[in-house]
């Protein structure tokens, strides 16, 4: 379905990284873009640069979401926002688990609940969910993060069932390692943490860039209206999922 069929879009996690880059691309294609994030200052800078409409709102607050966004008509919904934590479930706090479930799963479901009925009524719409290879493969990582991204995978599949017979398209983008701020935020978000994250996770690696992800979103949206790209798995050429651990326990 070409961009000309759509008028409006909403992008979450829009203040930085993939979200901000997605807002830029969709606005450049002529869509009215609603940019959603918590960082008001960054959103206002993005709005000044792109013409997007900023919405400073906490995705974990459903009442705030409904109050701020409930009256909008959205043709393209991009659920990009996500959080992760260091360690695994053994070292998790209650807040760690709540944050990942609230942002990575609950907010996705609530935004779909808010906007999908309008898409169905208009017989027009596209939902793009950013998941992760963590939702498709098992490897050492945070259990809750893997679980929430697996939920996004299943939500994406199920929405297609819920809207069968309507011209609603649903695309899941499952990236590998992308050069964003997520690792730096996990380390504390300070300039020193950002530098440490870059040196640890990106320096010397050919990681994906935000432009790679935006290009995949663009490809899915601009596909012919009769074609739905359901799942796009995109990883660096030098990154592969896999591996098997068989631990020996000494007597």
Active site positions, annotated = 145
Phi, psi of 79 (to 5 degrees): -85, 90
Element (H, E) at 119: helix 107-122
Q: What 8-state DSSP symbol labels residue 233? A: E
Transcribe 169-203 into DSSP letters: EEEEEEESSB-SSHHHHHTTSSHHHHHHHIIIIIT
Q: Are 77 and 10 in contact (CB under 8 A)?
A: yes
What is the three-class DSSP state of 73?
Answer: coil
Q: What 8-state DSSP symbol labels residue 166? A: S
Q: What 8-state DSSP symbol labels residue 77? A: E
What is the three-class DSSP state of 37?
Answer: strand
Tell me the sheet residues that pair with 128. 78, 171
Angle at 34 between CA 31 and CA 38, to 5 degrees: 150
Going edge to edge, which strands form the sheet with 125-130? 53-56, 32-37, 8-12, 76-79, 125-130, 168-175, 231-234
Q: Are 92 and 100 in contact (CB under 8 A)?
A: no
């Amino acid at each position: 379905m070409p961009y000309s069929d759509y008028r409006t879009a909403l992008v979450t996690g829009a203040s930085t990284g993939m979200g901000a880059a997605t807002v830029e691309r969709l606005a450049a294609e002529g869509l009215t873009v609603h940019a959603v994030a918590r960082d008001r200052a960054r959103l206002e800078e993005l709005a000044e640069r792109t013409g997007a409409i900023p919405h400073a709102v906490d995705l974990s607050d459903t009442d705030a979401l409904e109050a701020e966004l409930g009256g909008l008509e959205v043709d393209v919904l991009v659920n990009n926002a996500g959080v992760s934590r260091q360690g695994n479930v053994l070292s998790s706090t209650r807040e760690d688990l709540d944050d990942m479930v609230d942002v990575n799963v609950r907010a996705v479901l609530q935004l779909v609940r808010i906007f999908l009925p309008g898409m169905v009524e208009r017989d027009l719409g596209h939902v793009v969910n950013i998941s992760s290879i963590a939702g498709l493969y098992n490897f050492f990582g945070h259990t809750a993060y893997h679980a929430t991204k697996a939920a996004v995978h299943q939500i994406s599949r199920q929405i297609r069932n819920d809207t069968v017979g309507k011209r609603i398209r649903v695309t899941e983008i499952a990236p590998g390692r992308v050069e964003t701020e997520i690792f730096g935020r996990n380390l504390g978000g300070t300039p020193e943490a950002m530098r440490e994250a870059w040196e640890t996770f990106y320096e010397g690696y050919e990681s994906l860039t935000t432009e790679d992800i935006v290009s995949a979103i663009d490809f899915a949206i601009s596909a012919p209206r009769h074609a739905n790209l359901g799942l796009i798995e995109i990883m660096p050429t030098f990154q592969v999922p896999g591996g098997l651990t068989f631990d020996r326990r000494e007597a």
